[in-house]
Structure 1
């Protein structure tokens, strides 16, 4: 039996997964059109799961696309030479993985190329892809390479400019290019990435924002459980889960996990609002990775407190302005969002409660100063 996933990568054979069919179709259409895409969302919103499922769907639709999936999470402290040396190994491993999955072998010439060719900098990386494209398509129908890079934010700063320059060179090179499409995945949108736009192939128009679950998607997710197990959720329970979480994927799954695995509700009994109330209290008072990330993030900068207090007070409101560094950072962490009136809002009621708990002494007027986490017991930095 599948479960509701709350940690790490979600796998369709082990977990209930929202199909996100509309978003997947949009993403695939951009790949086919040769776009260079930025897919961004706060951590723990299902980015990695989404793009892997999208690439799997693309592979089923059209075998002429050759997906290479990379992850830059380990590279932040690398020097450029070490970065490119490791990048070459990871690219070659991914190429081998695709051939194995297709139950085919690379040509002898391509196999020799993968063994003997080095990548030492951004120029040799571009040349690698150019030659790889030629060898990949020899004797077969044309193959279009799709490169996706998870945790792109961790690329070494010293390597960033050259890396982007080479991708831009490829992007502007003409109709036939390798990679045909590139997707970078991270927690920052294009406007928040700190690099010179003149050297980048990524445009605001090709930014792909992955939203939280809609009510219909929460219904779809919980409906999968009902179809497999036979236990139903009362409609008001589903609506309340969505309202309290605003569709935040980890919180939705955590709610469902408590209700279906931890409360010992007989599987023949419909899950009601009485059950929901107990699960809601357990979620608020318990510990989970998503809430821990939230509380850690809001403590990172003492300036966050005053802004969050102003947002929660709702007297005058705070304009949602991503050019403001504090607002931009809190939005990147997934703490706040833009409301329908253009003002800042806390993402969901659960986060609002937890933030009030974090700042409770200040909210009660018991303390005048707030010390960030990088202080000792006496408040010294």
Structure 2
């Protein structure tokens, strides 16, 4: 039976290429030996459920514990009905035990108990009857809301002191966020803000991404099974786009081997990785779509909007930053600064944010004027087309952008997406505190690099700084020409149609560039 790269649900070694799930949790064995209660939180699609299921099976197989993994997700619909949520949870526990535990370790009939104690009494009876210490993994715990969540946490804390003979020896809460960020009211923005009422936890663990060598190890499994090789450059490129995010690593490989290069005699190259990346961006599968849904949340916007504009974060609540990190959208870089979690997420975010502007573009009335007869880009015509577009449509389209601070960037990218959709790609780079965004339009053999700057009130003209930054960007790409686009967002300026002009300038190193003031 052939194996495949998995992008849906937990992995199992019989069906999927996978790495040892517990390699990324080397510290957990001691926590079980110490009868600890702890939290495991990580973004979606990084292998939490796969790791927990493997860990539960391993602990039970050791003969020392009765370990069970189960999901709390079914309890979400109960809302604040904590009695119904507990009954749903206990039903899920029993079904999972029947599937994954031998008969002698399964729970006895759960006793009748007051609504506030249904879960606690059931776990107490099971712990007393079980011949081994119980270890329970509450996966998707943050699916529970309001009073249902508080009731579960309080009962776990209440039974903690009776372990291991009268209550589970170890309990692991697993979810997207740390326990302090669990919502405490249905439909509200309230959060625990503290580990109480689960202040018995001793650790908050997370799962790291794959290393570059682990990506190579995963891809080598496909080579061993089929003979189809991932060249070293392919692994490097996949790691660049994903930074080892497990779902993305698998998703790129799946597109390459199933859609782009099904011929197992053909090697996979870095160009295939880029093509697979474009497929993922256009399809926006469930994982990427769920990230996109987060972009309008105020806590996310407060972090991402200044990042995308190249501005300093300012006085951002630490909880907001931690929340966006827990979502997996950003990470702390090697120098301590905040950066996007990986280049592919960077592409997804800006493409999603510019979607409304793209959908609002006027329809093309004829063939693209920026293409020559041989299909190559005509840079002069492209400039003329952009200036005409910006003068006519820039002002109304700015109102369609969901992030006001980078509205001009998003409208420009919507225009460039139209160009790229004719057979090219658009790549973006940005960094906190640089005050810029870099764009690279690739169309066949043609490459156009752009530096975007914003001129705000009480700031000096960013022309000189922009030319120096564009100089470095062009040097890195091996180009002699490019565009510097300066969006004038100072108050009291004439309408966009009147002030949009293009001139020529030279960078400090003598590169000739077009300067667009828009």
2:40 is matched with 39
Distance between the aligned counterparts of 1:245 and 1:157, measured in 2?
A: 35
Q: Which has the higher strand share?
A: 2
Matches within 5 A, 1:233-252: 233-252=230-249
Q: CA deviation at 1:218?
A: 1.0
Whether 1:189 aligns to 2:189 is: no
Q: CA deviation at 1:120?
A: 4.3
Asked whether the equivalents of residues 66 and 145 of structure 1 are also in contact (C-alpha less than 8 Å), the reply is: yes
Aligned to 1:54, the other structure's residue is in SS state helix
The structure with higher relative contact order (CA 8 Å, sep 6+) is: 1
RMSD: 2.9
2:261 is matched with 264
Aligned to 2:272, the other structure's residue is in SS state helix
Matches within 5 A, 1:160-175: 160-173=149-162
Aligned to 1:76, the other structure's residue is in SS state helix
Whether 1:17 aligns to 2:14 is: no
Among 75, 79, 86, the residue aligned to 2:88: 86
1:367 is matched with 398
Gaps of 5+ in 1: 138-142, 373-381
Taking a change above 3 Å as real, the CA distance of residues 17 and 135 of structure 1, as seen in their structure-2 partners, is same
2:318 is matched with 322
Among 289, 294, 310, the residue aligned to 1:292: 289
Asked whether the equivalents of residues 88 and 118 of structure 1 are also in contact (C-alpha less than 8 Å), the reply is: no
* 214-223 vs 127-136, which moves further: 127-136
2:308 is matched with 312
Distance between the aligned counterparts of 1:300 and 1:150, measured in 2?
A: 24
Q: CA deviation at 1:19?
A: 1.1
Q: CA deviation at 1:122?
A: 4.5
Gaps of 5+ in 2: 183-190, 359-393, 404-518
Asked whether the equivalents of residues 171 and 177 of structure 1 are also in contact (C-alpha less than 8 Å), the reply is: no
Taking a change above 3 Å as real, the CA distance of residues 201 and 94 of structure 1, as seen in their structure-2 partners, is farther
Aligned to 1:165, the other structure's residue is in SS state helix
Distance between the aligned counterparts of 1:297 and 1:304, measured in 2?
A: 7
Deviations 1:287-317 (A, max 9, x none): 322221222221344x745642321343445
Deviations 1:53-111 (A, max 9, x none): 12122223x12311232211121241112122223323333333344xx3x457xxx98
Asked whether the equivalents of residues 228 and 265 of structure 2 are also in contact (C-alpha less than 8 Å), the reply is: yes
Among 213, 225, 230, the residue aligned to 1:228: 225
Distance between the aligned counterparts of 1:57 and 1:132, measured in 2?
A: 20
TM-score by length of 2: 0.62
Aligned to 2:346, the other structure's residue is in SS state helix
Choose 1 or 2 for highest CA Rg. 2
Asked whether the equivalents of residues 190 and 202 of structure 1 are also in contact (C-alpha less than 8 Å), the reply is: no
Distance between the aligned counterparts of 2:226 and 2:112, measured in 1?
A: 52
TM-score by length of 1: 0.82
Taking a change above 3 Å as real, the CA distance of residues 91 and 21 of structure 1, as seen in their structure-2 partners, is closer
Aligned residues: 354
Asked whether the equivalents of residues 69 and 149 of structure 1 are also in contact (C-alpha less than 8 Å), the reply is: yes
